[in-house]
Amino acid sequence: MTVPAAARAHIEDLAAFVTASPSSYHAAEEIARRLVASGFARLAETDAWDIAPGGRYVVVRDGSAIAFAVPEAAGATTPFAIVGAHTDSPGFKLKPKPTTFGPGGWWQLGVEVYGGPLLNSWLDRELELAGRVVTSDGDEHLVRTGALLRIPQLAVHLDRAVNEGLALDKQRHTQPVWGFGDRESADILAALASLAGTAPDRIDGYDLVVADTQEPRVFGADGGLFASGRLDNLLSAHAAVTAIRDARPVSAIAMLAAFDHEEIGSASRSGAAGPFHEEVLVRISTALGAGPEERARACAASLHVSSDVGHAVHPNYAERHDPANQPVVGGGPILKINANQRYATDAHGAAAWAAACRTAGIPTQEFVSNNAIPCGSTIGPISATRLGIRTVDVGVPILSMHSARELTAVVDPWYLSRGMAAVLAR
């Protein structure tokens, strides 16, 4: 298929966004940086907020970011039009006392599995550590090491049955190597301290993940395919940033909500199950003169489009999908439906998404799981339960979800952003 120039520009910008965001903390800061550069004012949670009609704002809590644009005519009962996503990706997180030593003089690092990664996809890749360190003065520093680590696979000569089924022990087989030789030189905290511009003994805490360093790549026939790490779910976060950056809402407050910790259940102070989103909504509505009655009316008229990547039909495993609903790459974003409310979509939400897609002039398709293979979930049901705002779950179809490197079509992220823009233009 012919890829529109606008879709190619969008995918190039997505590649830059993913590259700049090796951790959820980097992603939240990148969201804020981009929006501030586009005229949004950055708010601090500890300050009093001066929110006014016509204003555009962004606030960051840990690895989460919320941005909003207030219409000129906004009042106490103005509803919210929200596009939601998450900033974290499955993988590994650095443990305390991280430096270990293996047989043969190898330096290794202790890592803990984060979420549900496809473990085998992380083998034999050049990896980095990325995230935040906090020093004894309370300052937070974002750091990334560049290529430093590798989780080496056992040679086939030492495991002749490996191609009959690879079995990885999460503790013994996932600890990366990062050097060898003199143990006195094996000080990962010293390397991190150097990046933060401080001394190792001043690092009092850290939240560091392992990230793939391979650059995103456009490839395939006519350059129609896109491969990258962390598409789940930086693809959706980027689409939301692009949509709200240019939003000029008329009758609803346009909002981006990008949360951390979705891959592990969202139950944190900065996750979708935590208080962050509700606290921001309350502060906005209070600034516009709302009390509990007006706030309830505003939320009752609001819409939340929760976006997370979904499963495209796999050409080698088509039987794993529903026989009648088989989303394809290049076919536009998917509407996610589940009878057991693993997705929050209902009839009214589906109709609202269909209207947005018509307005945007983009195709859309449906996803429902095979009855024998239960689906995952998203921030959608969690947010709907917490806030009571009507929520619809959507996303871009991809292959290799939760792999260190995932695959989608070049056009679909662009389609998603256009659909989101239509939602925010209410």
Q: How far is CA 410 from CA 87, 222, 397, 407, in A?
A: 20, 10, 11, 9
For 162, counting Cβ atoms within 10 Å of its Cβ (0-12 exposed, 13-18 middle, 19+ buried), the class is: middle
Helix (H) or strand (E) holding 14: helix 5-19
Mind listing the domains of the chain with CATH numbers? 5-89+229-424 (3.40.630.10), 91-212 (2.30.250.10)
Q: How is residue 308 annotated by DSSP?
A: -
With contact defined as beta carbons under 8 Å apart, do 80 and 252 qualify? yes
43 class by beta-carbon count within 10 Å (0-12 exposed, 13-18 middle, 19+ buried): buried
The Cβ of residue 224 has, within 10 Å, a number of other Cβ atoms equal to 17
Beta bridge partners of 407: 227, 399
User: What strands, in cross-sheet order, belong to the sheet with 217-219?
Assistant: 217-219, 225-228, 406-409
Distance separating alpha carbons of residues 114 and 190, to the nearest angstrom? 24
Question: Tokens 């047989």 — which residue?
Answer: 103
How far apart CA 9 and CA 226 sit, in angstroms, is 13
Residue 367, H or E segment: strand 365-367
Distance of alpha carbon 11 from the chain centroid: 16
Q: Where are the beta strands (DSSP E) in 102-252?
A: 106-114, 127-135, 140-144, 177-180, 203-212, 217-219, 225-228
**CA 422 – CA 154 distance, rounded (Å):** 50
Minimal CA–CA distance to 80: which of 336, 305, 334, 382?
A: 305
Give me 156's structure tokens.
């086939």
Tokens of 197: 């511009």
Q: For position 46, what pLDDT does the model report?
A: 98
The pair of three-digit structure tokens given for residue 259, joined into one six-digit string: 């949360």
For residues 176 and 150, is the Cβ–Cβ distance under 8 A?
yes
Coil, strand or helix at 382: helix
Task: Say if residues 211 and 127 touch (Cβ distance below 8 Å).
Answer: yes
Strands (E), 213-269: 217-219, 225-228, 253-259
13 and 414 Cβ atoms separated by less than 8 Å: no
Integer Rg of the chain from CA: 22
Instruction: Specify whether the CB–CB gap between 410 and 358 falls below 8 A.
Output: no
Per DSSP bridges, beta strands 406-409 and 225-228 are antiparallel
Which tokens belong to 94?
């650095």
- C-alpha closest to that of 308 among 359, 239, 226: 239
The pTM assigned to this predicted structure is: 0.97
Q: Which two tokens stand for residue 403?
A: 């792999």
> Alpha helix locations (H) across 246-378?
276-287, 292-300, 347-360
Q: Which residues contact 153 (CB under 8 A, 6 or more apart)?
A: 123, 124
> What pLDDT shows up at residue 67?
99
Q: Provide the pLDDT for residue 57.
A: 99
The pLDDT assigned to 184 comes to 85
Provide block-wise average pLDDT over 10 residues at a time, the chain (426 residues). 94 99 99 98 98 97 98 97 98 96 95 98 98 96 97 95 93 96 89 92 96 98 97 98 95 98 96 97 97 98 98 96 96 97 96 98 97 92 97 98 98 99 95
Q: Is the peptide bond before 233 cis (omega within 30 degrees of 0)?
A: yes
List the end-to-end C-alpha distance of the chain, in Å, as a whole number.
32
Is residue 77 within 8 A of residue 297, CB to CB? The reply is yes
Q: What is the pLDDT of residue 426?
A: 82
The pLDDT of residue 9 = 98
